[in-house]
A = this chain, B = another copy of it.
Amino acid sequence: MEFSEYFPVWDKLTPVQQQMLADNATLRAVPKGTVVHNGSADCIGFLLVRTGQLRVYILSDEGREVTLYRLFPRDLCVMSASCILRGLQYDVTIEAEKDTEFWQIPAQRYKALMEESAPVANYTNEVMTTHFSDVMWLIEQILWKSFDKRLAAFLLEESALEGSPTLKTTHETIGHHLGSPREVVTRMLRYFQDEGLVKLSRGSVTLLDPDRLQALAED
């Protein structure tokens, strides 16, 4: 079964466990734009991405979306199984950003596997921890420090000064201007790139969507 190539700890499972997964993982294909999961009440199970791309985001009262992270082929989605993650009551929306195929594993089946397999439990823990870390970073930078706004405003100003959508500058230089470490600049620029706002190349940043950058800067 092809699933085995996408599930990182497959080789650490017993034949019985492998068979259980093979019997219970259902391959689904959804078109771009499909809302796969919506809120904590919804518990469709663990998802393992085969092709395409899923976007996990939260929605504010005012309808502003903040992308938390994206899931690519071989990524496991745990938020769609919130019902079995004791203590998790956090509402996110998961949307297919491209035509996407994923295996869906019923929450209770996966939970039973986690309970008997340390490799599966640790793998799941690692996925959770990584997402936790990404989300905390993003929320701190965006909601607390408004770094996204400040960076968007800076890029627009520089672009106006240079009369060009392409800025020849390093992340370190941007960091000096904004009083932020280079790593923070790099990470936020990549976030902007994933959101389709800019394009990054060696030694330059190109503004792809000045209107949305302007909206972000004024938000």
Contact = CB atoms under 8 A, between A and B. Distances in A.
B61 A133 contact: no
A35 interface: no
Contact of A143 (B118, B134, B144): B144
Contact of A88 (B87, B124, B129): B129
A31 to B, nearest CB: 29
**Chain A binding surface SS class:** helix
Contact of A135 (B119, B120, B136, B145): B136
Contact of A145 (B61, B117, B133, B144): B61
A148 to B, nearest CB: 13
B118 A58 contact: no
A134 B89 CA distance: 9
